[in-house]
Structure 1
Amino acid sequence: MEPIYIRVYTNRIEVRDLHTKKEAIAQRNFSHRRMLIGDFYPAIEAIHIALNNLSINPSAFFFKKRDVVIHPLECTEDGLSKVEIRLFNEVVAAGFN
């Protein structure tokens, strides 16, 4: 099955289900002027909202595990630090649990 593709912008997360070709956008105040995700919980909430708009419920008993691709599209001029990479991994893991 195709992965779920997540694009991260300043205070905006776009989730696209590559299987159904549907897309949802959620906006929350999670960015900081130095980091794309500066506040963890609003970013998780944005992922939850976008997934719900796509009728994807990862906590459902019969939910098939899917791969997730997360693509930060802003605040990446000098590359991502290891802390930011870990942050994106944790946001995806928390957003899908």
Structure 2
Amino acid sequence: MTTGATNQRTQVDFFDCTGKPDGNYVHPHDCTMFMSCVAGQYAYERMSADCHVDPDNCPTGRLHYDHAQNACLWSYEAGCVTDPAGAMGVAPNYI
């Protein structure tokens, strides 16, 4: 199953978009979320789309973000990998 993300996004300061092209990136701590960079400086945390809870396909009720395909997929398709280094070593702070 491939689907888009929800339109919900929250600007944050714990992810560094400096020098990164506009686009989506792996979330530092949560496979059901991803980061969007805008204008090389603004970071937004976004949620993957909801799905019906299913122990095999959707154990958390949300699809997982797959960076290689830039899509939200079933958890077993996405192969969850987070990127703690992208978080600049600080706790989330929502703007």
TM-score grouping bracket, smaller chain normalisation: under 0.3
Q: TM-score, normalised by structure 2?
A: 0.27
Higher relative contact order (Cα pairs below 8 Å, separated by 6+ residues): 2
Greater fraction of residues in strand: 2
Q: Which is helix-richer, 1 or 2?
A: 1
